[in-house]
Structure 1
Amino acid sequence: MCYAKRVDFTFTYWLAELWRRELETGELGEKHSKYFISWPVLALMSFVTVIGFDDLIYNFKNQGMGVITSWVLMLFLYVIPYSLMVGQLGSIFSKEGGGLSSWIRGTNGEFLGYFTAWTYWAASIPYVVDTANSVVVGLGWALNGNNKFQETMSNSHFAFWTLLVFVFFVVIQSRFKHSLELLSSLGGIAMFGMTVLFVMMALGSLAVGGKIATQPFNLGAIIPKFDLKYLTTLGLLIYAVNGCELIAPFVTKMKHPQREFPKSMIMLVVMTAFLTIFGSFSLGIFFNAHHLPYDLKMNGSYYAFQALGRQYHVGNLFMYLFAWTEVIYLAALLAVLLDAMTRMLISDTGEKFMPRFLRRTNHAGLPINGYLLTCLLSGFILFLGVFLPNMNDIFNWLLNLNGIISPGVTCWIFYAFMRVRKNSAVYPAAYVFIKNDRLAWWIGLWALTVTAVATVFGIAPQDVPAFSKLWWHELLINLIAIGVLIGLGMLLPLITKREKRDGEAFSRSQWIGMTVIVLTTLIAMLYIGGSQFSGKGFLLTGVAAVSLSLLFRCTRKKTKKSRN
């Protein structure tokens, strides 16, 4: 699960909320207004939101030692301009809290602002499913000390345990929310510390007699092969290094942002370059990059700490430390995210685009129907993966789905920046990235193009033989997942309009009809997925099409009556 780019999400979000309150209500008091964030502190804050250990593992599996060259190119041609653009956008829209949806709303209007908020939320759905999967995987390692738990588990059992994790944390998050936020923040910092520890100890192992497992280790080993497969892996690279938008609200809290913010970003790139380059090299010490384990993405972090323990003759000590740290952190983070992502979506979109039944809260003020929507879509994504051959394929597919949707959302950042620089007089900022508007606009277009290309090519399946039956199957469910997550965001404003016109979105009989259709569809798809005949993909598509047409007729019935 690619949690590393948000490794200290809650900690950064707390600070952002603190500064927002100071700007809007003066809640912190006037005596604090003279304090500023120094550029080294801002660099460290952004560092823990950008990169982590699993990012190294995933991209090492995709590109081997050649990923070292990719990291260098990505950092200097993409991360630097990306982070500096974020700095200017955060400076312009500081009073709105510096959020991505506020940037689009301020440059393109209310509806596109809502749709950006929706896509940002939709991108979190595969992320939380991946998080729940990783909790199950991590428990297997923490309890057994090996991967037998995953190898002996069927897909249906894997889905069951993942859904059980969802239900459990939806229940407890309302009771222990603040404790879980603290636990996930501390766990995130601990996880990042273990990443640095691994890199330092792996490099140190060479000084005590360790040998490099990647052979031959030469210049050709670190040059990637620039082909179609390489293009399909760009999405995970971008997913690994994005996240700078989380520190955007702090730009205006620097004493001299025009001079100090670039220093912060240069420091960020230097630290990230060290961790990614030497981290990838460290993995090459323990793994032969030319013959990597097939399940490296799912179990590679544990394999790596096992190898580190063997090198220093301490057995599985490092692996157990990593496994329990990851389980505790991910469990707390999952509960926090299930709450935070739902609240942020509903509060950010308001009454104009979000139906009333989704905004409805219970006696404790919890958006219970919003939680239900989150869980239903998460279950839908998990359900799509049940038909894959084994647990490792499910894990890899979910991870790669993150590498499609998340970079797609990042495109909004560059689009907002281009809009700002096209009419810079209307958007004054304390920090400006490149004073020449035309040059800045073209750099924004460059970043947007790279991200869009990575998003499109990321739709092509990875980790499976190209154009095989499994490849086509994963391509189909990629398109279905993207279509449902994004398409629902377009439907909700229409449902809201209908709700305002008719007094309610759907009648009781319509809700019952839609529930029956959805459950029947799931049962039919499970039966098809469990059968042995060929042509499953086409039949599944046919079932989905029939179900959609029935849903359409069910939802239109009331509209016709109301017009009569």
Structure 2
Amino acid sequence: MENTLQPKKHYMSWPVLALLDFVTIISFENIFYPFQNQGLSVVISWLFLLFSYVIPYALIATQLGLTFDNQSGGLASWIRRGTHSDLFGYITSWMYWTQTIPYLVDVSNSVVVSISWIILGNNTLNKHMSTTTFGLMTFIIILLFILFENKVKNSLEILSFIGGGAMFLISMLFVFMTGWALLHGAHIATHFSWGAFKPSFSLHYFSTTGLLIFAMSGAELAAPYIIRLRNPKSEFPKAMWALALMTAFLTIFGTLALAVFFNANHIPHDFKMNGPYYAFRLLGEQCGLGKSLMYVFAVVQLLFMLAQLAILIDAAARVFASDTANKYMPTWLTKKNKNGKPVNSYILTAGISLLILLLSGTLPSINSIYNWLLNLNGIVSPYKTALVFVAFLAIRWHEKEFHSDYVYIKNRTGALAMGLWCFIFTFVCATLGFIPQDANPGTAAFNHQLIMNFVTVGFLIVLGFLLPLLRKLELRRKATN
């Protein structure tokens, strides 16, 4: 007899999961800073990364996710189970959580910027708001969203579906309307030639590649939600393939569309922060629609960034609190409320966000704050991503111990070679990311940002050692009582 008292399980569909991951991986604005850093040659970089990195990365995440499909800790679970090491599992949780915080601050910055474009309709935010006020507004948004996520049921899925779907649609709209504009006589700002596409293999080129990895990474964020799929074996691979295809479309065709409106050799200095709004304003003017497309994009960008906030706060806190060995974590940090939310982890996240905002407040303008946080993500995010490939190497090295309904590269040697390539490439790009990208070497601005990069990463490392120490003190107090 069916138990009518049993609550009906709420399943997540694979398209929603794909959009959820798409929200965290790439957006329309993510094609702007690579375009500014590498010009039209970034198209070659995107194509190279797509086939040698992005697709393998998504399929590696698929095998790992289905190998540990009953775990809710995501990457931390993969490392902890794959390496049989509680310590390595803790280190992964810490890295996963700490790399999310600069991104969380960066996304909150983008929320403020999008609201300013909706209200002002232009790029004059610097004239209306000081860097202190900008930091305060960013912090308030983080706090409000933590409260929102604890109060609204299914907020994650709702925002992911609306924000992710709207961003993908408006990105396609930009590409297709750019094609329409070209057919109706639009002038191409960038000269298309082999020389323009040819990469310049300099130190600057390689130091900016970490930002490309940051722009395209995040497939493993879907892992904690595998257990919410009705049929993970068939649905999770579909979600990952959909994710890879959406990413490919946006990066390649979106970059080509940008080259129509912007001269790759003369990029506005605030292109990373305001470029997407410039693009839709120019497109609207070209199509005879005035500023209307720019306002539509500003609203979509706002929804998209709010969806990112929901996912970052939820997924990172769950990874940090759900599958870490008790001997390394203070109990107050892993404690959950009646709704199953790790509230104290949220509070600590907000506190570290505030410290990063105070540090960024030493920079001279809102644009420089925005750019520095973006570049910081190009350091910490790839280091975390490198651990995905460590987990893959671990399960393929001991593949007799682990079963998955999906196997990426059945040949063990080939799989290990691909995993090693992805790890080395990611680690090297992350390390080169310490080099400031928006200042010339030898200048005071360059030295200032370089010091800030090392101070921020160093602080996060110290924090990683501090938490196990607090746990030891906690256990010692219990033993003496």
TM (norm. structure 2) is 0.89
Alignment of 1:285-364 (within 5 A): 285-331=260-306, 333-334=308-309, 337-349=312-324, 351-360=326-335
**1-side partners of 2:364 and 2:13: how far apart?**
54
**2-side partners of 1:238 and 1:85: how far apart?**
15
Higher RCO (CA < 8 A, seq sep 6+): 2
Q: Say if 1:490 and 1:67 are closer, same or farther in 2 by CA, change over 3 A.
A: same
**2-side partners of 1:49 and 1:366: how far apart?**
20
1:65 aligns with 2:19: no
Residue 53 of structure 2 is matched in structure 1 by: 78
Residue 122 of structure 2 is matched in structure 1 by: 146
Query: Does the 8 Å CA contact 1:236/1:402 hold for their aligned counterparts?
Result: yes
Residue 192 of structure 1 is matched in structure 2 by: 168
Residue 297 of structure 1: how far off its partner (Å): 0.3
**1-side partners of 2:183 and 2:406: how far apart?**
45
1:481-511 Cα shifts (integer Å, max 9, x gaps):
111123212221121011110249xxxxxxx
Alignment of 1:105-504 (within 5 A): 105-108=80-83, 109-179=85-155, 181-214=157-190, 216-247=191-222, 249=226, 253=231, 261=237, 269=244, 271-331=246-306, 333-334=308-309, 337-349=312-324, 351-360=326-335, 367-503=342-478
**1-side partners of 2:295 and 2:460: how far apart?**
36
Query: Does the 8 Å CA contact 1:411/1:448 hold for their aligned counterparts?
Result: yes
Q: Say if 1:341 and 1:419 are closer, same or farther in 2 by CA, change over 3 A.
A: closer
Q: Say if 1:41 and 1:402 are closer, same or farther in 2 by CA, change over 3 A.
A: closer
Query: Does the 8 Å CA contact 1:407/1:455 hold for their aligned counterparts?
Result: yes
Residue 278 of structure 1: how far off its partner (Å): 1.6
Residue 289 of structure 1: how far off its partner (Å): 0.5
| Matched residue SS, 1:493 | helix
| Matched residue SS, 2:289 | coil
Name the stretch that deviates more: 224-233 or 84-93. Answer: 84-93
Query: Does the 8 Å CA contact 1:422/1:441 hold for their aligned counterparts?
Result: yes
Q: Which amino acid aligns with 2:367?
A: N
Q: Which amino acid aligns with 2:137?
A: W
Residue 310 of structure 1: how far off its partner (Å): 0.4
1:89-128 Cα shifts (integer Å, max 9, x gaps):
2222122257111110112211211221121111110111
| Matched residue SS, 1:291 | coil
Residue 475 of structure 1: how far off its partner (Å): 1.0
Residue 253 of structure 1: how far off its partner (Å): 3.6
Query: Does the 8 Å CA contact 2:102/2:377 hold for their aligned counterparts?
Result: yes
Q: Say if 1:317 and 1:434 are closer, same or farther in 2 by CA, change over 3 A.
A: same
Q: Say if 1:333 and 1:488 are closer, same or farther in 2 by CA, change over 3 A.
A: same
Residue 509 of structure 1 is matched in structure 2 by: none
**1-side partners of 2:202 and 2:360: how far apart?**
27
Q: Which amino acid aligns with 2:104?
A: V
Q: Which amino acid aligns with 2:402?
A: Y
Residue 174 of structure 1: how far off its partner (Å): 2.8
Q: Which amino acid aligns with 2:459?
A: V
Residue 269 of structure 1: how far off its partner (Å): 4.7
Give the % identical residues.
45
Query: Does the 8 Å CA contact 2:66/2:232 hold for their aligned counterparts?
Result: no
Aligned length: 471
| Matched residue SS, 1:288 | coil
Query: Does the 8 Å CA contact 1:252/1:430 hold for their aligned counterparts?
Result: no
Residue 525 of structure 1 is matched in structure 2 by: none
Q: Which amino acid aligns with 1:440?
A: A
Query: Does the 8 Å CA contact 1:181/1:333 hold for their aligned counterparts?
Result: no
Q: Say if 1:255 and 1:417 are closer, same or farther in 2 by CA, change over 3 A.
A: closer
Q: Say if 1:334 and 1:387 are closer, same or farther in 2 by CA, change over 3 A.
A: same
Q: Which amino acid aligns with 2:109?
A: N
1:411-441 Cα shifts (integer Å, max 9, x gaps):
1111111112222112232222222212221
**2-side partners of 1:233 and 1:401: how far apart?**
11
1:150-207 Cα shifts (integer Å, max 9, x gaps):
3443222211222232333334433335346513431221112111111111122100
In terms of Rg, which structure is larger? Answer: 1
**1-side partners of 2:149 and 2:91: how far apart?**
27
Name the stretch that deviates more: 475-484 or 183-192. Answer: 183-192
Q: Say if 1:490 and 1:78 are closer, same or farther in 2 by CA, change over 3 A.
A: same
**2-side partners of 1:120 and 1:26: how far apart?**
32
Residue 538 of structure 1 is matched in structure 2 by: none
**1-side partners of 2:437 and 2:216: how far apart?**
20
Query: Does the 8 Å CA contact 1:36/1:253 hold for their aligned counterparts?
Result: no
Query: Does the 8 Å CA contact 2:66/2:404 hold for their aligned counterparts?
Result: yes
**2-side partners of 1:363 and 1:91: how far apart?**
29
1:280-316 Cα shifts (integer Å, max 9, x gaps):
1100001010100000000011001101110111111
**2-side partners of 1:451 and 1:478: how far apart?**
18
**2-side partners of 1:424 and 1:308: how far apart?**
52
Structure 2 unmatched ranges of 5 or more: 1-5
Residue 369 of structure 1: how far off its partner (Å): 3.3
**2-side partners of 1:365 and 1:267: how far apart?**
30
Residue 100 of structure 1 is matched in structure 2 by: 75
Cα RMSD (Å) of the superposition? 3.0
Residue 346 of structure 1: how far off its partner (Å): 2.0
**2-side partners of 1:80 and 1:364: how far apart?**
36
Query: Does the 8 Å CA contact 1:91/1:252 hold for their aligned counterparts?
Result: no
Query: Does the 8 Å CA contact 2:160/2:307 hold for their aligned counterparts?
Result: yes
**2-side partners of 1:414 and 1:349: how far apart?**
19
**1-side partners of 2:20 and 2:130: how far apart?**
40
Structure 1 unmatched ranges of 5 or more: 1-24, 505-561
**2-side partners of 1:419 and 1:356: how far apart?**
29
**2-side partners of 1:93 and 1:100: how far apart?**
10
Residue 28 of structure 1: how far off its partner (Å): 4.5
Residue 55 of structure 1 is matched in structure 2 by: 30
Q: Say if 1:73 and 1:365 are closer, same or farther in 2 by CA, change over 3 A.
A: closer
**1-side partners of 2:151 and 2:361: how far apart?**
32
